[in-house]
Amino acid sequence: MKSLADVYPRRRGDPPGFLTYLGRKEAQKTRLRVIDYDEREVREYRPERVDEVLRFRESPGVSWIDVTGLGDTGALEEIGKGFGIHQLVLEDILNTSQRPKADLLEDYVFIVLKMIHYGREQSELDIEQVSLILGPGWVISFQEKEGDVFDPLRERIREGKGSVRGSGPDYLAYAIIDVLVDNYFLVLENLGEQIERLEDEVVQRPRESLMAGIHRYKRELLFLRKSTWPLREQLGGFLRDEHPLVTRSTVPYLRDLYEHTMQVIDTVETFRDMVSGLLEVYLSSMSNRMNEIMKVLTVIATIFIPLTFIAGVYGMNFRHMPELDVPWAYPAVLGFCLMVAGVMIVYFRRKKWL
Amino acid sequence: MKSLADVYPRRRGDPPGFLTYLGRKEAQKTRLRVIDYDEREVREYRPERVDEVLRFRESPGVSWIDVTGLGDTGALEEIGKGFGIHQLVLEDILNTSQRPKADLLEDYVFIVLKMIHYGREQSELDIEQVSLILGPGWVISFQEKEGDVFDPLRERIREGKGSVRGSGPDYLAYAIIDVLVDNYFLVLENLGEQIERLEDEVVQRPRESLMAGIHRYKRELLFLRKSTWPLREQLGGFLRDEHPLVTRSTVPYLRDLYEHTMQVIDTVETFRDMVSGLLEVYLSSMSNRMNEIMKVLTVIATIFIPLTFIAGVYGMNFRHMPELDVPWAYPAVLGFCLMVAGVMIVYFRRKKWL
Amino acid sequence: MKSLADVYPRRRGDPPGFLTYLGRKEAQKTRLRVIDYDEREVREYRPERVDEVLRFRESPGVSWIDVTGLGDTGALEEIGKGFGIHQLVLEDILNTSQRPKADLLEDYVFIVLKMIHYGREQSELDIEQVSLILGPGWVISFQEKEGDVFDPLRERIREGKGSVRGSGPDYLAYAIIDVLVDNYFLVLENLGEQIERLEDEVVQRPRESLMAGIHRYKRELLFLRKSTWPLREQLGGFLRDEHPLVTRSTVPYLRDLYEHTMQVIDTVETFRDMVSGLLEVYLSSMSNRMNEIMKVLTVIATIFIPLTFIAGVYGMNFRHMPELDVPWAYPAVLGFCLMVAGVMIVYFRRKKWL
Amino acid sequence: MKSLADVYPRRRGDPPGFLTYLGRKEAQKTRLRVIDYDEREVREYRPERVDEVLRFRESPGVSWIDVTGLGDTGALEEIGKGFGIHQLVLEDILNTSQRPKADLLEDYVFIVLKMIHYGREQSELDIEQVSLILGPGWVISFQEKEGDVFDPLRERIREGKGSVRGSGPDYLAYAIIDVLVDNYFLVLENLGEQIERLEDEVVQRPRESLMAGIHRYKRELLFLRKSTWPLREQLGGFLRDEHPLVTRSTVPYLRDLYEHTMQVIDTVETFRDMVSGLLEVYLSSMSNRMNEIMKVLTVIATIFIPLTFIAGVYGMNFRHMPELDVPWAYPAVLGFCLMVAGVMIVYFRRKKWL
Amino acid sequence: MKSLADVYPRRRGDPPGFLTYLGRKEAQKTRLRVIDYDEREVREYRPERVDEVLRFRESPGVSWIDVTGLGDTGALEEIGKGFGIHQLVLEDILNTSQRPKADLLEDYVFIVLKMIHYGREQSELDIEQVSLILGPGWVISFQEKEGDVFDPLRERIREGKGSVRGSGPDYLAYAIIDVLVDNYFLVLENLGEQIERLEDEVVQRPRESLMAGIHRYKRELLFLRKSTWPLREQLGGFLRDEHPLVTRSTVPYLRDLYEHTMQVIDTVETFRDMVSGLLEVYLSSMSNRMNEIMKVLTVIATIFIPLTFIAGVYGMNFRHMPELDVPWAYPAVLGFCLMVAGVMIVYFRRKKWL
């Protein structure tokens, strides 16, 4: 199971604005990718050094600078200085236990998001922090480790599919966030199927081992909730407060995004309620099994304990027990035992215990 | 039981604004029906091709264009272009896992609703998405599959009953939504009767099989809640913010609609509380049954185990057991056993276990 | 128990504004009573026909038109037309599953309330809808069936007690609502006493049959809550928004009413918490009884099962059992059995099981 | 336990503004005490008749008129008229089931509070209503019965300690409320100690009788909550809305009061959570005891039931049982029994049941 | 466990503004430390007498006056007078059960915070109150007892690391609060690890003793919650309302602080949910153990009780029992017993009880 320490890394007593990478993913070397495009052209670069990137601050088209691996704080600081980014923003990028948020700053917009996906073995949720800075004419994205989640978006830019190419950097930022929110749907779909399978098991073949599953999904939903709820209020604020970098034509897309987020949150809440319901069904099944066990014990004990007493009576060694000499006494006693058992069985049938 | 996958279809990594039908109902071919009316006349059409529909954008009366079956995205796109509808709105129409909402856009109002009804066998809830676009002089409605739910409304238009004919397209939109909200009442009434029947069962003849019913209603109410709560805030916003397409005379009807929605939500919440109460009663009954089983076991075992011991004592083979030779010993022991049993029975009576 | 169907009557697919009585109380014939008063005079009428009532619209004093029985929708419609009341308002009067509300319309104020009282046998809550329309110079009240709840108020008007006579129709409307809210206090007092009695029973003589009572009060409180919560927000809005028909001198009375409503809601919530607490005590008592039953079983079985084994040993038929011939063996074994039993009893005493 | 009827006295069908004392404390005769002070002088009176009090309305210093015992409604009415107090306010003073509140009226401020304290035997909470009217130059306080809670405050006025003497009537009103809120701290401290003691008991020596205590504290906290929550919103409104009678220099004291109230509410909520936690521990302990009882039963029964069967086998009277004649058979069987018992004991040790 | 009395010390009936130390930490003698710095210089003092401190009110640089030990109320009063601090503020500093808050007063800002840390033995939470007063050019901090938590901050000031030296007193106040909020992260990290360890235990080796741990963490989280929730609203208000003492450049730091606080609150809530989940797993495991115990009892009893009856039958002493003389009867009966046992074992296997 996911260790808590991954989610709440230790924040050390460093002065504010002092940069250290606080994630638990192995701190990869920082790699850079730049896509610079306008309506007519797309140019891609993979700069080796940070200073090659700085010129995109003033380049005429839209530049998407993708920074992967947060291990090299020096490189980050250089980017920060080059693009005029506040020290605290850089600190937030490195502190991967940040809550999702959208800060509308004067010169740029700073957005923190969580990217969730199932790991290779599909067995546990992996949460990674993605930060975005939207400036005039450029977007910088920061990821903890290399991944292919943005490849379809890059493809769309290259091929000019959709309206990315014709729009400004705000649309690009939207498109990046949209990819991440879409990821939530994939994870939720996966989780939903797993919960449904668990539900079938719990309803049809309740057994103790299912409790672990219920507990696990409960916990995963707790983390999903923790990383989606703040999105709601942050995107809501984004829509409410106007910002010069967000053009009018992007607003409908942002509203769309907001609605998708609401849908994700609704679904997480519905899943939480479903898992709670599962727990109730599970506990009730377990208690029914207990009832069943007790019924078996009670039926057997209640039938045979009195019979054993009867047998015990005629096993007594009193000299004067006239019944013992009666020839039909033995079959009579056996018959009486059968009768007692029969009456009990009828009684238990009535009570629906059998 | 309703599959989750129906409710949360997979949203693929398509670019925003790319149209695909995401519902799980078999994607039916798109069929069109148009009712064009004003105070004097009603004209009905069943156009074969989409372009026949476009002329109603400018026609003088009120035109209700009903689109059934969302399989043909091309047709939809054509309608979208013809009526000047934003690509994201079209995407929302096709993505049937949309939350209910009302978007007050500049040139038109876009409304997403859920139509719920019990399937043929009355056994499970069926949720279908209905979208409405209210424009100047026209209303377009989109349904996933053909149904007869709007037939009474069409009849009213034809016969001029009520005030539809004399009112504008906003009243028509209201009337369509009203039909859908009325449907909620029908479903709730049905559900209410089922819950009441279940309640009688749980109170009078509690048994394990009822747990499945409780779980099922809990889940259905979860879905009902998910599809009604957003309505509240959306209709509330509708009432608060004025829109040029909503005339003053329609406002009381919208407020009425809002109140009906509140009533639906109240009822869903009350039902949820009732089903929770049922679960408590069920669990308490099950635990009482356990108590009853244990009481029977305890009474029988407690009476006969000591007696068996007594019989065992006189079954011992010691040579020197003077009692064995006493002629009245056997009846005395039997009498003693009876007495012990009697005392126990009195004791259990006192404890109200018998 | 109150049927749900009474509380959520079926709303049929009629067009909006089409009038049908939707209550389950037998639809009584409509009867009319009018009290027309000013500071000097009180005149009472019992008009047979609706048109006799219409002249009070313009009469100089304050006219209270009390309409009882909602069966005759024609009469209602006539009143509606005569007093200029919107069709939807009339529909709401007839739909007795309306939420409590206060609509501040342009020409009049429309108020829907629930009147609750215990039926004859004090055994179940009866909920009836009362609607009020406050116009300039007149108040119309609509009740589902005849009752005597307003008699003290009429008496006060006749005798000029309090400030009704000297005030306008807004004060009259307030006085009518006040009577209804006072009714809530009576019902709550009654319910409070019943809950207290139940509490004593649950704490002192817990038994299975009490669960039904707990469930019943839980449900009644659910309905009480459903019919009081909306009052709060509605009366709050009433106080916030000024209306020309509400004079400044009536405002303190409305605030008083608002506070009473808050008190009712507080009490309902407190009762809900109390009944939840009762359930916990009940369940805990039931589980304690289980413990007690198990203790008796365990004590008896644990003492006698080993003894029975000892007796069984000496009941074996081996030829070579030297103890059997020892003269003091029999009393020794009996003594040993007593000792074992004694040790066990001491052990159970220590464990506080005895 | 406190009777509910004390807390929710019957509000009769009297017209609004009709005065009756609705408390359950025996309606004591009304007694009056006046302290009239300014920065230089303090004068105390104990007027016999109400009309002696009226002159303090216009007296130059600050007058605190303390009215104890609400039995004499005539006297109250006279005070009401003399000081220009609305009839509904007087009604609220007499209706002791009022919610705490602060009404900022035009000519005066009306405040209702609850005074809570433990009775003589420290065994149950006593709730009494205290009302305050703050006018220009005077404060009237109404208590249900005589008490000494305000004595320290009077002493402070006499001795000129603190800033009472130099401040206006608003500070006096604040000081009175402050005494009452301080009382809450005393009660909470007491309750906290009791809950802690109960917690120790529940954790260390869980037993059935503790449930009653848990239930009692739960209920007391319910009442405390009911009488503190409204304070919050009322005092908050007091701070927000300015009132000519509240001078700027008193505002910090009111904010202080508000914070104390928040602290009381926080503590009540924390205690509620703690008592809920206690219930969980209690129920878990009870269920553990059940487990322990079952373990003893199971160990004893599981060891001896098979042994009894073995003894029973060799107690059978078959003629041809060769073992019976073997000389070492008896010790062998006894040894086998010991071995079986030993194996079982080892098994139970492994399972940690012993 | 932490005594409640530490957290809610008795607030005595003293007049408002009367100073007494209300903490339970032994009231240490007041010690003073001053750091006075500007961009070029740092001067440190440890004044013996309070009056030496007063001159820093007007000194040109930023002065941080750290007051440790609140036992000497006289010294405090002197500081209060010297720096123009309201009597109620001083009272709040001494009353260590204050809620966290931030008061934006006219001439200074008053902030109350809780410092939490684990005691020496890492076994229980220790809560201490820290108050700050931010004035023009100076910050006074009040701690209950000496500690080293601010040493790194002092070091940063001395060495000019970070931006403290170049900023005003508002940044200093921020830095002090930041240290305290960082402490929360340390405590939460510690707590998170402990909860994770407990979780492993509960899932893998559930046993009764773990309940105490669950209860303890639940309680600690309750206190953490109580001391963090108010921070949120208070810091939120701080950000919303501008104050002349808070410079524009400090605002981003405050927002950062606010986000950290939100993160702490989120984590506390997540931990609470996790501990609740743990309780469920624990209770479910305990109930599963009960099931297991019952299964063993039932299997053993159900197999051997019928067999004992059979043996009892052939132990009866009837004269006419033909089976007794049949030579193969004894092995036949034994065989029959084995068969019965075998059938039962198969039955239990099927039921998955074995």
pLDDT at A21 over 80: no
Q: pLDDT band at A17, cuts 50/70/90?
A: low
Residues C153 and C167 in one domain: yes
Q: Do A311 and E312 touch (CB under 8 A)?
A: yes
Q: What is the pLDDT of residue E301?
A: 92
pLDDT for C291-309, tens place per residue?
888 889 999 999 999 999 9
CA B250/CA B234 separation, integer angstroms: 17
- Same domain for A149 and A104, yes or no, is yes
Boundary of a domain, candidates D284, D307, D340: D284
- Out of E253, E284, E315, a domain closes at E284
One domain for residues C13 and C92: yes
Q: pTM to 2 decimals?
A: 0.84
Query: What is the CATH classification number for the domain harbouring D142?
Result: 3.30.460.20
pLDDT in tens, C213-269: 899 899 889 888 988 888 888 888 778 877 888 888 888 888 888 888 888 999 999
CA distance B303 to chain C (A): 9
Average pLDDT over residues E234-258: 84
The pair phi, psi for residue D79, each rounded to 5°, is -60, -45
Q: What is the pLDDT of residue B98?
A: 81
Residue B10's domain comprises: 4-284
Burial state string for B38-65 with b = 16 or more CB within 10 A and e = fewer than 16: eeeeeeeeebeebeebbebbeeebbbbb
The residue among A68, A71, A83, A65 whose CA lies nearest residue A140 is: A65
C271 and C336 assigned to the same domain: no
C-beta of residue D305 within 8 angstroms of C-beta of residue E301: yes
Residue closest to D107 by CA, chosen among D34, D45, D181, D169: D169
What is the C-alpha to C-alpha distance for residues D104 and D102, in angstroms, rounded to an integer? 6
Tokens found for residue D316:
């059978």
Residue A309 carries which side chain, given as an amino acid letter? F
pLDDT for residue C251? 85
% of residues, chain A, pLDDT over 70? 92
- Closest approach of B268 to chain C, Cα-based (Å): 11
Determine contact: A353 vs chain B, CB below 8 A: yes
Q: Is the pLDDT of residue C37 over 90?
A: yes
Rounded CA-CA distance B115/B97 in Å is: 12
Residue E144 clears pLDDT 60, i.e. is over it: yes
Q: Percent of chain C at pLDDT above 90?
A: 35
Kindly indicate the confidence band of residue A119, based on its pLDDT and cuts at 50, 70 and 90: low
Q: Which of A178, A305, A318 sits opposite B329 (nearest CB)?
A: A318
Structure confidence at residue E152 (pLDDT): 87
> What 3-state DSSP class applies to D45?
strand
Task: Look at residue B13 in the predicted model and tell me its pLDDT.
Answer: 52
Give the pLDDT confidence of A166-225 residue by residue, as tens digits: 889 999 999 999 888 888 888 888 888 889 899 989 888 888 889 988 998 998 898 889
Selection from D159, D136, D146, D153 nearest residue D246 by Cα: D136
Do C10 and B175 make contact, defined as CB atoms within 8 angstroms?
A: no
Q: DSSP strand E in chain A: where? A: 31-37, 42-45, 62-68, 101-104, 109-118, 125-135, 138-143
Any CB–CB contact under 8 A between B18 and chain A?
yes
C203 and C317 part of one domain: no
User: Does position D316 have pLDDT exceeding 70, yes or no?
Assistant: yes
Mean pLDDT of A242-263: 86
Instruction: Write down the mean pLDDT value for chain C.
Output: 86
Nearest chain A CA: its distance from E23 CA (Å): 28
The better pLDDT of the pair C124, C59 is held by C59
Instruction: Locate B8 and state its tokens.
Output: 């949360």
Residue E119 has pLDDT above 70, yes or no: no
ipTM of the complex: 0.80
Contact B8 A305 (CB under 8 A): no
**From the CA of B154, how many Å to the nearest CA of chain C?**
11
Q: Apex CA A155: angle with CA A150 and CA A158, to 5°?
A: 130
What strand order describes the sheet that includes D101-104? Answer: D42-45, D31-37, D62-68, D138-143, D125-135, D109-118, D101-104
CA-based nearest distance D197→chain E, Å: 10
C147 touches chain D (CB under 8 A): no
**Given a cut of 90, is residue C9 above it in pLDDT?**
no
Say whether both A267 and A304 belong to one domain: no
Chain D residues inside the 8 Å CB shell of C353: 293
**pLDDT computed for residue C36 by the predictor:** 93
Query: Sign (positive/negative) of CA torsion E13, E18, E20, E21?
Result: positive
CATH of the domain at C306: 1.20.58.340
Say whether pLDDT at E206 is over 60: yes
- Chain A CB contacts of E270 under 8 Å are 222-223, 226
- According to the model, what pLDDT value does residue C274 have? 92
State pLDDT tens for residues C140-150: 999 988 878 89
Instruction: List, in order, residues 6 or more apart from D7 with CB less than 8 Å away.
Output: D97, D127, D223
Q: Is the pLDDT of residue B22 over 80?
A: no
- The 10s digit of each residue's pLDDT in E174-205 is 999 988 888 888 888 888 888 989 998 988 88
Q: Is there a single domain that holds both residue C275 and residue C291?
A: no
The answer to whether E240 faces chain A, any CB pair under 8 Å, is: no
Among the partner residues D91, D99, D283, nearest to C266 by beta-carbon distance:
D99
Q: Which of C5, C282, C312 sits opposite B312 (nearest CB)?
A: C312
C263 and C144 part of one domain: yes
Which of E117, E184, E173, E182 is CA-nearest to residue E144? E117
Same domain, B204 and B71: yes
pLDDT of residue E22: 67
Could you give the CA distance from residue C50 to residue E338 in angstroms, rounded to a whole number?
A: 92
What per-residue string of b and e applies to B330-344 under the rule 16 or more CB within 10 Å gives b? Answer: beebbeebeeebeeb
Question: What is the distance between the alpha carbons of residues A27 and E80, in angstroms, rounded to a whole number?
Answer: 51
Domain total for chain C?
2
Domain boundary among B284, B306, B324: B284
Contact B16 A256 (CB under 8 A): yes
**What's the 3-state SS for A195-219?**
HHHHHHHHHHCCCCCHHHHHHHHHH
Amino acid at C33: R
Read off the pLDDT of each residue in D168-185 and give the average, rounded to a whole number: 90
Portion 252-281 of A in contact with B at CB < 8 A: 252-253, 255-256, 259, 262-263, 266-267, 270, 273-274, 277, 280-281
Looking from the CA of C147 toward its CB, the CA atoms found within 13 Å total: 22
pLDDT digits (tens, 9 = 90+) for E123-132: 677 888 999 9
Cβ-Cβ contacts under 8 Å, C250 against chain D: none
My answer on whether A309 and A321 are in the same domain is yes
pLDDT in tens, D93-118: 888 878 888 888 888 999 999 888 87
Burial D258-290 (b: 16+ CB within 10 A, else e): bbbbbbbbbbbbbbbbbbebbbbbbbbbbbbbb
Instruction: Decide if pLDDT at C6 tops 70.
Output: no
Q: Are residues B175 and B188 in the same domain?
A: yes
| Mean pLDDT across chain D | 86
For chain D positions 294-313, those within 8 Å of chain E (CB to CB) are: 294-295, 297-298, 301-302, 305-306, 308-309, 312-313
Quick one: D327 and D189 in the same domain?
no
- Asked whether the beta carbons of E141 and E79 are under 8 A apart, the reply is no
Looking at the complex, does the CB of residue C160 fall below 8 Å from at least one CB of chain D? no
**For residues B212 and B275, is the Cβ–Cβ distance under 8 A?**
no
Q: Give the position of tokens 């466990």.
A: E1
Cβ <8 Å between D330 and C317: no
